[in-house]
C-alpha cells in the first residue's frame, strides 16, 4: 500500500450559484466558493497555508489574488494551466506537499465564466490554436477545433469496434439527467430527458447532440485538503484520499494519430494498487463527463465493465441510484453544470459524508468512491476517496 | 466590396519542423518525414523520432498517387472555425495510409455525401489550391 494512503483528507467543499450569466468576475465567484468551503470545514482563511488553481487560456483569477481578498497570507500559491483531471492533479500535489511537511492546509479552486466568458466547447482562435496546440497545423485547416470533434473521432472508432450505439450514449445522459431532477442546484433540474427526445435530437457533431455535451456555465468550486491529524479539528466529516493516479498521458502528444488509446487506460493499475482496492469495491463514482461517450470509454479504462460490454452496463441502469455504480449523482457536467470536473468531486465528497442521509439522493452507506478526470484522450488522472 | 474568392479558413502554418510537408503539398505531392535510425514514418513531422528518440530524420517523397482507408471520421454540423460555415456538414477523417497504415493523416473528405462515408471505405488524396501559392491535401472517396 502506498505511503500516502489515508493520510490526507478533504474537509471542506463549496461553490457559488451557477448561472448562464454571472454578471461578475471569476475572482468574485472564487471568493464565494472559497468562503463556503471554509465554512463547511469550520476553518478560517488564515488557516490556509497553500492555495492552488487551474485555468484554461487565463479564464480564472490567480490564487495570490484570491488569497489577498480572502484576507490571508499563505506561504504557497500555485496556478496551473489545465482542464479536466486538474482537480485530481492539484489534490495529489497538495497531498505530496502536506506529507512532506511543507504545508498543512490547502485550498484548491476552479472559477470560470464558462458561459458568459470564454467557452471551451465553442472553439478557439484559429491562429492561437495553430501556434499553441501541438500539431495544430495538421488539424485546424480542416475545421477541427472543438473537443466535440476531437473526442468524436475517438468515439466513432470505439463505437464501431465495440458495438456501442447512440442509444447507449443516451442511457448515460438519461441516467445523469435523472439525478439532476433530485438536485435543486442542477442547471437542468426540471428538465428531464427521455430516450425518444434524446434520439430525435440532431447531432452537433457526430456522434454528439446537445444532450451528449456538458452544460457550460458560470461557476466556481473550491475544495480544502488537510492532514488527517488536522482533519480531526474540522467541523465536517473527513473524506480520506485513499489512492491516486494523479496524471497519466497518451503515448503521443498528437493524440489524434492513435485513436484507440486514451490516457485513462494508463491510470487504473496505479490507482487501485495505491488504494489497495478493486473496481468491484467502489460504491459511488464521479466519472468525468464532458461528453457522454467519455463516460463509456472510462468505464472500460477503469475496469467497471469489459470492453464490448460497457453499453449493456449502462443500459442496465448501473449508473443510476440503486445501480451497481451510481455515478455523477448530482447530475454530472451533462446536467448539473460544468466546472471542469470539480463539481463532480464536490458531489462525491458529499455522498461519502452521507450529507443526503434520509433522502432519495443518498447512495446508502457508501464508503468508497472513485473520481476520474479527463482533459482529453491525452491527459487523465483519478483518485479513490473513502470515509 | 470584398473579394468573393478570399480564403477564410485557417491556412497551414509552415514551421521549422513541418515546412517540407507543406512545401510538397503546394506541389500536389505527399512527402513524409522518416526516422534515419529506425525507418519509422513520423507524422505529423517533428524535431525527432517519437518511436526511438533519434534526432536524425530524412524526408521521403511518396508522390501524387496516394490511397488510404477511413480509420475514423466525424460529421460536423456546426462551424467551429471561420470559413466552414459555407461547407456544412463538414466531414473530417483520420485516414490510414495504404502504404503504411500506422501513418494517419487527418483531412476532410470533400465532394462527398456524408451518408457514403463509413469506417473502412477507400480514399484517394487530392490537393486543393487555396491561394496563389498554397495547396491543401484533402481526401475524396475512391470510386469503383
Ligand atoms: Zn526512430
B57 and B72 share one domain:
no
User: A368 forms bridges with which residues in the sheet?
Assistant: A386
- Do B69 and B49 share a structural domain? no
CATH 3.40.47.10 fits A8-118+214-386, yes or no: yes
Q: What is the 3-state secondary structure (H, E, C) of B37-100?
A: CCCCEECCCCCCCCCCCCCCEEEEEEECCCEEEEEEEEEECCCCCCCHHHCCCEEEEEEEECCC
What is the predicted pLDDT for the residue at B3?
Answer: 46
- Give the whole-angstrom CA distance, residue B44 versus residue B18: 8
Name the phi and psi angles at A293, rounded to 5: -60, -30
Q: Are B58 and B79 found together in one domain? A: no
The secondary structure element, H or E, covering residue B128 is strand B122-129
**Does one domain contain both B73 and B131?**
yes
Q: Are residues B101 and B117 in the same domain?
A: yes
Which helix (H) or strand (E) covers residue A292, if one does? helix A292-301
Dist CA A131 CA A25 (whole Å): 28
pLDDT attached to residue B130:
97
Residues 6+ apart with CB under 8 A from B6: none
Q: Which of A255, A272, A338, A356 is catalytic?
A: A338
Q: Kindly state whether residues B86 and B56 are assigned to the same domain.
A: no
| Contact predicate A338/A214, CB 8 Å | yes
- Contact by Cβ (8 Å): B71, B96: yes
The predicted pLDDT at position A1 comes to 44
CB A314 within 8 A of CB A175: yes
Q: Give residue limits of the domains in chain A.
A: 8-118+214-386
> Which pLDDT score, from 0 to 100, does residue B47 have?
96
- Of B27, B43, B64, the one marking the end of a domain is B64
| Residue B59 forms part of a structural domain | yes
Identify whether B130 is part of a domain.
yes
CATH assignment at residue B138 = 2.40.50
Joined together, the cell numbers standing for residue A51 give: 492555495
In Å, how far is A351's CA from the nearest CA of chain B? 37
B77 to A146: CB separation less than 8 angstroms, yes or no: no
Nearest-CA distance B27 → chain A (Å): 17
The closest of A144, A139, A142 to B128, measured between CA atoms, is A142
What are the CA-CA distances from residue A362 to residues A192, A238, A354, B138 (Å)?
19, 17, 7, 53
In the predicted structure, residue B5 carries a pLDDT above the cut 70: no
Q: φ, ψ for residue A287 (rounded to 5)? A: -105, 120
- The answer to whether residues B43 and B79 belong to one domain is no
Report yes or no on B3 lying in a domain.
no
* Contacts within 8 Å (CB) and 24+ apart, A248-252: A248/A379, A248/A380, A248/A381, A249/A378, A249/A379, A249/A380, A250/A377, A250/A378, A250/A379, A252/B50
Grid coordinates of B87: 461547407
pLDDT of amino acid B2: 44
Q: Residue A297's pLDDT is what? A: 98
Distance (Å, whole) CA A96 – CA A109 = 18
Please count the structural domains in chain B: 2
Neighbouring C-beta atoms of residue A314, cutoff 10 Å: 29
Q: Are residues B59 and B79 in the same domain?
A: no
Q: How big is chain B by its Cα radius of gyration, in Å?
A: 16
Rounded to the nearest angstrom, the distance between the alpha carbon of A251 and the centre of ligand 1 is 15
Burial category of A357 from C-beta neighbours within 10 Å (exposed 0-12, middle 13-18, buried 19 and up):
exposed
pLDDT in tens, chain A (387 residues): 455 677 999 999 999 999 999 999 999 999 999 999 999 999 999 999 999 999 988 899 999 999 999 999 999 999 999 999 999 999 999 999 999 999 999 999 999 999 998 665 555 666 767 777 767 899 999 999 899 999 999 999 999 999 999 999 999 999 999 999 999 999 999 999 999 999 999 999 999 999 999 999 999 999 999 999 999 999 999 999 999 999 999 999 999 999 999 999 999 999 999 999 999 999 999 999 999 999 999 999 999 999 999 999 999 999 999 999 999 999 999 999 999 999 999 999 999 999 999 999 999 999 999 999 999 999 999 999 999
Structure confidence at residue A123 (pLDDT): 57
As given in the structure block, the three cell numbers for residue B9 are: 479558413
Q: Is A288 a catalytic residue?
A: yes
Rg (CA), chain A: 19
Proportion of chain B above pLDDT 70, given as a percent: 96
B2 in a structural domain = no
Give A134 to chain B, closest Cα distance, Å: 10
User: Does residue B4 register a pLDDT over 60?
Assistant: no
Question: What does the pLDDT average to over B77-88?
Answer: 92
pLDDT in the model for residue B6: 87
Q: Decide if A76 contacts A6 (C-beta within 8 A).
A: no
Dihedrals phi, psi of A186, to nearest 5 degrees: -75, 135
| Annotation marks residue A54 as catalytic | no
Q: Examine residue B60 and state whether it is found in any structural domain, yes or no.
A: yes
Task: Say whether both B57 and B69 belong to one domain.
Answer: no
- Please judge whether A137 and B15 are an interchain contact, meaning their C-beta atoms are less than 8 angstroms apart: yes
B37 and B74 in a common domain: no
Cβ contact A222:A108 at 8 Å: yes
Nearest-5° Cα angle at A109, A344 to A86: 65
* SS3 state of residue A224: strand
* The three cell numbers locating residue A86: 486538474
For A15-45, give one letter per residue: b (16+ CB within 10 A) or e.
bbebbeebebebbbbbbbbbebbbebbebeb
Residue B106 lies in a domain: yes
In a domain, B102, yes or no: yes
Cα gap A314→A318, rounded to integer Å = 5
pLDDT value at position B117? 97
Domain assignment of residue B101, yes or no? yes
Q: Give the per-residue pLDDT at B1.
A: 40
Q: Choose among B22, B24, B61, B26: nearest CA to B41.
A: B61
Question: Where in the sequence is the domain holding B134, given as residue range(s)?
Answer: 65-144
At A57 the pLDDT is 82
pLDDT at residue A120, as a whole number:
57
Best A121, A124, A125, A137 member to test B by mutation, with max B CBs in 10 Å, is A137
Residue B58 and residue B34 in one domain: yes
| For B96, nearest residue in chain A (alpha carbons) | A257
Beta strand pairing status for A368-374 and A284-287? parallel
Same domain flag for B50 and B34:
yes
| Per-residue pLDDT, A121 | 57
User: Which value does ipTM take for this structure?
Assistant: 0.96
| Rounded Cα–Cα distance for residues A47 and B57 (Å) | 55
Output the DSSP codes for A143-200.
Answer: T--SHHHHHHHHHHHHHHHH---HHHHHHHHHHHHHHHTT-TTSTTTT----HHHHHH
Question: Residues 30-59, chain B: which have Cβ within 8 Å of A?
Answer: 43-44, 50
Amino acid at each position: 500500500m502506498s505511503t500516502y494512503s489515508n493520510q490526507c483528507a478533504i474537509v471542506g467543499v463549496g461553490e457559488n450559484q451557477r448561472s448562464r450569466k454571472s454578471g461578475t468576475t471569476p475572482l468574485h465567484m472564487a471568493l464565494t466558493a472559497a468562503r463556503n468551503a471554509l465554512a463547511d470545514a469550520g476553518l478560517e482563511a488564515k488557516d490556509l497555508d497553500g492555495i492552488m488553481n487551474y485555468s484554461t487560456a487565463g479564464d480564472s483569477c490567480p490564487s495570490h489574488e484570491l488569497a489577498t481578498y480572502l484576507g490571508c497570507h499563505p506561504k504557497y500559491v500555485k496556478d496551473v494551466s489545465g482542464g479536466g483531471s486538474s482537480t485530481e492533479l492539484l489534490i495529489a500535489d497538495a497531498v505530496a506537499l502536506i506529507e512532506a511537511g511543507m504545508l498543512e492546509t490547502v485550498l484548491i479552486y476552479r472559477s470560470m465564466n464558462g458561459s458568459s466568458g470564454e467557452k471551451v466547447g465553442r472553439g478557439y482562435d484559429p491562429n492561437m490554436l495553430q501556434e499553441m496546440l501541438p500539431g495544430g497545423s495538421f488539424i485546424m485547416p480542416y475545421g477541427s477545433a472543438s473537443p466535440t470533434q476531437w473526442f468524436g473521432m475517438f468515439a466513432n472508432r470505439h463505437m464501431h469496434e465495440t458495438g456501442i450505439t447512440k442509444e447507449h450514449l443516451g442511457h448515460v445522459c438519461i441516467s445523469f439527467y435523472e439525478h439532476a431532477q433530485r438536485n435543486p442546484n442542477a442547471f437542468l433540474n426540471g428538465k428531464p430527458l427521455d430516450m425518444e427526445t434524446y434520439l430525435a435530437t440532431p447531432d452537433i457533431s457526430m456522434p454528439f447532440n446537445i444532450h451528449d455535451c456538458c452544460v457550460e456555465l458560470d461557476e466556481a468550486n473550491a475544495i480544502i485538503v488537510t492532514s488527517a491529524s488536522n482533519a480531526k479539528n474540522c467541523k465536517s466529516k473527513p473524506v480520506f484520499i485513499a489512492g491516486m493516479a494523479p496524471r497519466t498521458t497518451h503515448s503521443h502528444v498528437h493524440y489524434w494519430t492513435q485513436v484507440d488509446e486514451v490516457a485513462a487506460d494508463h491510470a487504473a493499475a496505479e490507482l487501485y494498487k495505491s488504494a489497495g482496492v478493486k473496481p468491484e469495491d467502489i460504491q459511488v463514482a464521479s466519472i468525468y463527463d464532458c461528453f457522454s461517450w467519455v463516460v463509456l470509454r472510462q468505464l472500460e479504462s477503469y475496469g467497471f465493465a469489459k470492453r464490448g460490454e460497457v453499453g449493456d452496463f449502462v443500459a442496465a441502469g448501473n449508473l443510476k441510484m440503486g445501480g451497481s455504480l451510481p455515478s455523477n449523482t448530482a447530475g454530472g457536467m451533462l446536467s448539473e453544470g460544468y466546472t471542469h470536473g470539480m463539481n463532480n468531486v464536490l458531489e462525491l465528497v458529499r455522498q461519502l459524508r452521507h450529507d443526503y442521509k434520509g433522502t432519495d439522493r443518498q447512495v446508502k452507506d457508501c464508503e468508497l468512491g472513485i473520481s476520474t478526470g479527463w482533459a482529453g484522450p491525452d491527459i487523465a488522472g483519478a483518485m479513490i476517496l473513502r470515509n | 466590396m470584398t473579394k468573393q474568392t478570399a480564403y477564410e479558413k485557417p491556412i497551414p502554418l509552415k514551421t521549422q519542423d513541418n515546412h517540407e510537408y507543406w512545401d510538397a503539398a503546394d506541389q500536389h505531392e505527399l512527402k513524409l518525414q522518416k526516422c534515419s535510425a529506425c525507418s519509422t514514418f513520423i507524422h505529423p513531422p517533428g524535431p525527432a523520432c517519437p518511436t526511438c528518440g533519434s534526432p536524425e530524420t530524412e524526408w521521403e517523397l511518396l508522390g501524387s498517387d496516394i490511397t488510404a482507408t477511413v480509420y475514423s471520421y466525424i460529421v460536423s454540423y456546426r462551424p467551429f472555425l471561420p470559413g466552414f460555415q459555407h461547407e456544412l456538414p463538414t466531414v473530417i477523417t483520420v485516414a490510414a495510409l495504404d502504404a503504411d497504415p500506422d501513418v494517419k493523416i487527418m483531412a476532410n473528405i470533400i465532394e462527398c455525401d456524408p451518408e457514403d462515408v463509413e469506417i473502412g471505405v477507400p480514399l484517394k488524396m487530392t490537393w486543393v489550391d487555396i491561394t496563389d501559392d498554397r495547396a491543401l491535401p484533402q481526401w475524396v472517396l475512391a470510386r469503383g
